[in-house]
Structure 1
Amino acid sequence: MPTPTIRPARPDEYDEIGRVWMNSWVSTGLAEASNFLLAQLRARIPMEIEKGWSLFVADDDGHLAAMLALHLPDRYLDQLFVAPEYQGRNLGRRLLAFTRQHLPDEIWLRCVRENEKAWRWYEREGFVFEKEAVEPMTGFVMKYYRWKKEGNAR
C-alpha cells in the first residue's frame, strides 16, 4: 500500500480538511461529532490561513488522511490531526518529520491536557513540557511543549 503524500492543501479541499479535523478530534473522546462542530472547524480554516497558517494534507490517492497546520514565523505546530482510519500507521510521525524539515531548530505546540494520548506521544517524540495554561476561547487547559534541535541552547 503506497504511503500518503504530504503536500500543500488546496482551497477546494477545505471542507474535507474540516471533516478530517473533526473526525480526528472526536476520536480523542473530547467532543462529539456534530454539524455545528464541523461548521466551526470549516469556518476556521480560511481565517487561520489569513492569519499565517501554512496548511498541508496527507493525500492518499485523492483521499485526505491527515491535516497539518504550521505557523512558520512563530515556529508553531498548530494542528496535527490524522483521520481515525489512518491512525496507528506512523502517519503522525511522518507529519512530524515533515514539520522538522520546515522548522529544523525549534518547534513549540499546545495540546489539550485531557488528550493524554497526544501529549504522551509528543513527549516520546522529544518534546519537553513547559507549562499549563487555560485557553480563554475554549476553556481547555493546554499543555505547552517545545522541541529544540540537539545542540541548541535550552
Structure 2
Amino acid sequence: MSHPMIRPARADEYDEVARVWMESWVSTGLAEASDFLLANLRARIRREIEDGWSLFVADDDGTIAAMLALHLPRLYLDMLFVAPAYQGQSLGRQLLAFTRAQMPDEIYLRCVRENEKAWRWYEREGFVFQKEEVEPSNGFVMKYYRWKRQRPTG
C-alpha cells in the first residue's frame, strides 16, 4: 500500500465518502449495509458540513481509503472511519496524527460502547474516558473521551 494523502474532501466525493463510512461502520458488526443507511449518511455529510464539520479524506491514488470529520471550533474529532480494505495498516494512526496537528492541545471524541475495538484503540492512543451517555438520535450508549497535550513539568 502506498501512503494515502490526507486532504480536504471535495463536494463531488461526498457520495463515495458516505460509502466508505458505511462500509467501515458495517465492518464493526453493529449495522448492516443498506440503501437506507447509505442515503442517511449521504444526507448527514451535507448537514454536518453546514454545521461546521471540516471533512477530510485519505486519498490513495484516487481511491478514498478513509474519512475524517473534525469540528475544529469544538475541538471535536467527530468521525474517523477507515475502509475495510485499509484497516490494520496504520492509516487510523496517520489520521489521528493529522487530527493532533489540527488540534494540538486538546481533542474530544465519542464512540459507541459496543465498538470495543475503537474505544480501546483511543485509550491506547492516550484518550481518557470521561462519561457514558445514551445518544437519543440512535439509542447507542456513547463513551466520551478527552485527550490533552501533556505539558512538560519544571
Q: Equivalent residue of 2:97, what SS?
A: helix
- Corresponding residue for residue 124 of structure 2: 124
- Corresponding residue for residue 89 of structure 1: 89
- Corresponding residue for residue 139 of structure 1: 139
Q: Equivalent residue of 1:17, what SS?
A: helix
Aligned-pair distance for 1:2?
1.9
Distance in 2 between residues matched to 1:144 and 1:48, nearest whole Å: 19
Aligned-pair distance for 1:94?
0.1
Distance in 2 between residues matched to 1:139 and 1:39, nearest whole Å: 19
Residue-by-residue CA offset, 1:31-88 (whole Å, 9 max, x unaligned): 0000000000011011100000000000000000000000000000000000000000
Distance in 2 between residues matched to 1:19 and 1:63, nearest whole Å: 12
Q: Percent identity?
A: 78
Q: Superposition RMSD on alpha carbons, in Å?
A: 0.8
Aligned-pair distance for 1:107?
0.1
Count of residues paired in the alignment = 152
1:62 alignment partner AA: G
Aligned-pair distance for 1:151?
1.7
- Corresponding residue for residue 106 of structure 1: 106
Which segments of structure 1 move beyond 4 Å, counting only runs of 4 or more? none
TM-score (norm 1): 0.97
Distance in 2 between residues matched to 1:148 and 1:98, nearest whole Å: 15
2:139 alignment partner AA: G
Aligned-pair distance for 1:128?
0.3
Aligned-pair distance for 1:90?
0.2
- Corresponding residue for residue 24 of structure 2: 24
- Corresponding residue for residue 13 of structure 1: 13
- Corresponding residue for residue 150 of structure 2: 150
Q: Equivalent residue of 2:31, what SS?
A: coil
2:109 alignment partner AA: L
- Corresponding residue for residue 51 of structure 1: 51
